[in-house]
Amino acid sequence: MAGPHIVVDGVSKRFETSADAVPALSEVSLAVGRREFCTVIGPSGCGKSTLLAMIGGLVLPDAGQVRIDGQPVEGPDPRRVAMVFQDPALLPWRTALDNVAFGLELRGMSRPERRRIAGDLLGPLGLREFAERYPRELSGGMRQRVAIARALAIDSEIVLMDEPFGALDEQTRLLMGEWLLSIWTRARKTVVFVTHSLQEALLLSTRVVALTARPGRVKSVLEVPLPYPRDLESPGLASLRATLWGEIREESLKTMGR
Amino acid sequence: MIGRVLAARAALGLGVVLAWEVAARARDPLLYIPPSRVLPALARLLLLRSFPLLPEHVWLTLREILVAYALAVGVGLAVGAVLGLRPTLGRVYAPLLGALYAVPSVVWYPSLMLLFGLGAASKIAFGFLLGVYPVVLAVLAGVRQVSRELVTVARAFGAGPGRVFRTVMLPSMLSTLTGGLRAGLALTVVGVIVGEVLGSTAGLGYLITYAYGLLRTADYVALVLVTLAIVLAIDAAAGLAERRARRRWA
């Protein structure tokens, strides 16, 4: 299909608090192409997560519109969009396998079929032996892989990831990034990935969108036309990193000065 | 191991019965009824010699419990859900419930008798009144246990309100909820029987007061034993239902 896969068109959102309304996003527009890995980065509280929730239909904008394949988003649509959150949010009373199958179950798929599909996913994710374990018996990295498998199981064209590795230690985080890339290159999905890590953004994305401090606006869009796997020490990445840090630093300072 | 546990329990029971027998014989056997007099009384009771209408009385008490408990569960779940899911309402009214709960419930019983009369209605009302609190409080506590993240995930994967309740909220609340439902059942039973004891014309509690009032102490103790057996049976049934619910939903 021609045209961008996801269009965010002049979207604004305010959140009502008991005292007043806090503007979270202000007239954000961006377009994400099919099979792109687009990272949204910005200082804390800039509305990155809100933007992602709006693309996923969990939050509706006050103004503007989000369109997927040209159709306005009016609510969660798991046939087209799967989501991964910072908290793996697995159902603690279900095994890893049944957690992976959760989205398929909500879709009305029979138990043997959804368990077969979920089981096929666990192997490549290094979780085969852990299929019948409960979330509390898994490490943080494994839990997040189960959450990602749950998103992949419903086989949507778009995967939205909200700081999925934010709670992990740095080594695990780097490995999870590599692992995610290998999946993305094989599955060729459109990914929108929210992070506050420059390194993660540069290693993973085809494009980085930097947001300003609250209320979030698009500050700059940076193409990363480098092949995978990437080396943080390479000159190309180092100069991109310097550029991006320049953009982010200014906004982070604003946040700190508040 | 289990054999030894059972043997130890039986030994304790036997010891208590023996001590009871000895103590009762030493004092006044009419007021301190020895087991040797209770057993024949129990036999007469179960053979329907002492109280031929016992089955009707038991059946009435059971029906009162059933109706009172059904009301307590229905109203308790509804009130708890409304107060739990509407935070503003919860903030306004939940503290009132807590304050009411602190009042010894038995002070309400006279007014219930004035309102509902001496018949089954006042017992049902009192059983309901006692049973409804634990259910409401359990729902309120349970709703707070539901993780917002899990609700968001369920919504993101396409669950509407009904599926969110069924797949996320109910299992999250299950242990708190079953605890409240069982506590509510126990208190409903207490409410109905205490109501009958305090003032009634029929039911197990009525028979107990009747036997006690006529100083038929052996019959009175036999009736208490029957009540105990019924309460234990109800609790066992509740335990079974709880285990089934856990297997089904969690």
* Mean predicted confidence (pLDDT) in B110-118: 88
Distance from CA of A104 to the nearest CA of B (A): 9
The predicted-structure confidence for B128-138, as pLDDT tens digits, reads as follows 999 999 999 99
Chain A environment of B153 (Cβ under 8 Å): 83, 85, 89, 102
Edge-to-edge order in the sheet of strand A207-211: A81-84, A158-162, A190-195, A37-41, A207-211, A218-223
Lowest mean pLDDT: which of A209-218, A235-244, B6-15, B241-250?
Answer: B241-250
Q: How many angstroms separate the Cα of A57 from the Cα of each of A5, A25, A75, A194, A216?
A: 15, 15, 4, 16, 18
Which residues neighbour B181 within 8 Å (Cβ) at sequence distance 6 or greater?
B73, B134, B135, B138, B238, B242
Residue B113 phi/psi, 5-degree rounding, is -65, -40
Give the closest of A76, A87, A91 to B155, CB-based.
A76
Residue A6 phi/psi, 5-degree rounding, is -120, 130
How far is the C-alpha of B233 from the C-alpha of B185, rounded, in Å? 12
Chain A environment of B157 (Cβ under 8 Å): 76, 78, 82-83, 102-103, 106, 150, 154
The predicted-structure confidence for B9-51, as pLDDT tens digits, reads as follows 899 989 998 998 888 888 877 777 888 888 888 999 898 888 8
Q: Which CATH class is domain B38-249?
A: mainly alpha
* Mean predicted confidence (pLDDT) in A85-107: 93
Task: Give the DSSP per-residue string, B81-144.
Answer: HHHHHSHHHHHHHHHHHHHHHHS-GGGGHHHHHHHH-SSHHHHHHHHHHHHHHHHHHHHHHHHH
Residue A179 in tokens: 């692992």
The predicted-structure confidence for A136-190, as pLDDT tens digits, reads as follows 999 988 999 899 999 999 999 999 999 988 888 888 888 888 888 888 888 889 9
How far is the C-alpha of B25 from the C-alpha of A140, rounded, in Å? 69
Give the closest of B149, B158, B159 to A87, CB-based.
B149
* Mean predicted confidence (pLDDT) in B175-182: 90
User: Which one of A77, A99, A102, A148 makes the best mutation probe of the B interface by having the most chain B beta carbons within 10 Å?
Assistant: A102
How far is the C-alpha of B237 from the C-alpha of A233, rounded, in Å? 68
Contact A154 B159 (CB under 8 A): no
Contact A107 B153 (CB under 8 A): no
Query: Using only C-alpha atoms, what is the Rg of chain B?
Result: 23
**End-to-end distance of chain A based on CA atoms, in angstroms?**
45
Q: How many angstroms separate the Cα of B155 from the Cα of each of A58, A79, A83, A102, A105?
A: 8, 13, 10, 12, 13
Which candidate, B190, B81, B187, B61, places its Cα nearest to that of B131? B187
Q: Note the pLDDT of residue B127.
A: 94
Residue B9 in tokens: 């329990």
Chain B environment of A78 (Cβ under 8 Å): 156-158
User: Which one of A54, A58, A99, A106 makes the best mutation probe of the B interface by having the most chain B beta carbons within 10 Å?
Assistant: A106
**Contact by Cβ (8 Å): B217, B175:** no
Residue B114 in tokens: 């004035």
Name the residue in chain A with its Cα closest to that of B246. A93
**Contact by Cβ (8 Å): A153, A100:** yes
Domain spans, chain B: 1-32, 38-249
For chain A, percent of residues with pLDDT exceeding 90? 50
Chain A environment of B152 (Cβ under 8 Å): 58, 85, 89
ipTM over the 0.90 cut-off: no
Q: Note the pLDDT of residue A158.
A: 94
- Cα atoms found within 13 Å of the Cα of residue B35, Cβ hemisphere only: 11
Q: Note the pLDDT of residue A68.
A: 94
In the structure, what pLDDT confidence band is assigned to residue B250 with cuts at 50, 70 and 90?
Answer: low
In the structure, what pLDDT confidence band is assigned to residue A42 with cuts at 50, 70 and 90?
Answer: confident
In the structure, what pLDDT confidence band is assigned to residue A235 with cuts at 50, 70 and 90?
Answer: confident
Distance from CA of B145 to the nearest CA of A (A): 13
**Contact by Cβ (8 Å): A66, A73:** yes
Which residues neighbour A4 within 8 Å (Cβ) at sequence distance 6 or greater?
A31, A32, A33, A34
